[in-house]
Amino acid sequence: PKLVIATHNAGKLREIQELLAPYNIECVGAAELGLPEPEEIGNTFVDNADLKAREAADLAGLPALADDSGISVDALHGLPGIFSARWAEDDEGNRDFGRAMERVWREVEAAGDEAGHDAHFTCALAIAWPDNGQVESFEGKVFGTLVWPPRGDKGFGYDPMFVPAGHDRTFGEFEPDEKHAISHRAEAFRKLVAALG
Ligand code: ITT
């Protein structure tokens, strides 16, 4: 059976394909199918993952897997959180994560030393089936600290400024398999496999 990977983010798509690789599931990307990007009107990662999966499943008539994720910074009371992609967008909607990371670091410094540099990534994965309206979601997290300047070009998004707890390299310096051993996305994926296995 075919599965729609309901994301327009190339970095996420690559990681989800890597996670799915052992399962021999035929996948097709949302961009490949020409599916629109739904407006993310939810207030939580799970709500946004659910609505993206639901819409893709309905439009494609196939099961669809969606990912809503982001980085939450303690010193910023959890921001950018569900707004992580939007913090990278200019007025025309073009994304620049160099600029987004600079903004995060600037605001962390403005919050003062006492606020610290702790942060975590969250990933909500939702799978929706066509026809019956069923949708299930699973969440994973990884905790760590922010560093400056950013290091490494192996990941995507905010990876170059995030050092997971117990490590000294950034996610941008991790190989894909190393990231999958501990990442928020891999944790959500393991929960999904356990539930649907
Ligand atoms: P789709 O909605 O099409 O899936 P998006 O990029 O708009 O793509 P989100 O709204 O979930 O997705 O935005 C999440 C942002 O958080 C994403 O653009 C990344 O910059 C960041 N992010 C999520 N997971 C990450 C990871 O593993 N490493 C680094 N940054 C990540």
Residue 48 in marked binding region: no
**Residues facing 80 on adjacent strands:** 72
Tell me, yes or no, if 74 is annotated catalytic.
no
Q: How far apart are CA 123 and CA 102, in angstroms?
A: 22
pLDDT given for residue 197 in this prediction: 77
Domain ranges in the chain? 2-196
Q: How far apart are CA 29 and CA 159, in angstroms?
A: 23
Q: Closest Cα partner for 157 from 57, 59, 86? A: 86
Angle between helical axes of 184-196 and 10-20 (0-180°, round to 10): 40
The dotted CATH code for 2-196 is: 3.90.950.10
Q: What is the reported pTM?
A: 0.97
Q: Which of 12, 147, 169 to mutate to test the pocket of ligand 1 (most atoms within 8 A of CB)?
A: 12
Q: What is the ipTM of this complex?
A: 0.98
Distance 111 CA to ligand 1 centre (A): 24
110's tokens: 């403005």
Residue 9 in marked binding region: yes
pLDDT digits (tens, 9 = 90+) for 65-111: 999 999 999 999 999 999 999 999 999 999 999 999 999 999 999 99
CB neighbours of 162 closer than 8 A, spacing ≥ 6? 71, 119, 121, 144, 145, 146, 147, 170, 171, 172
pLDDT digits (tens, 9 = 90+) for 124-169: 999 999 989 899 999 999 999 999 999 999 999 999 999 999 999 9
Going from the C-alpha of 63 to that of each of 84, 120, 130, the distances in angstroms are: 26, 29, 6
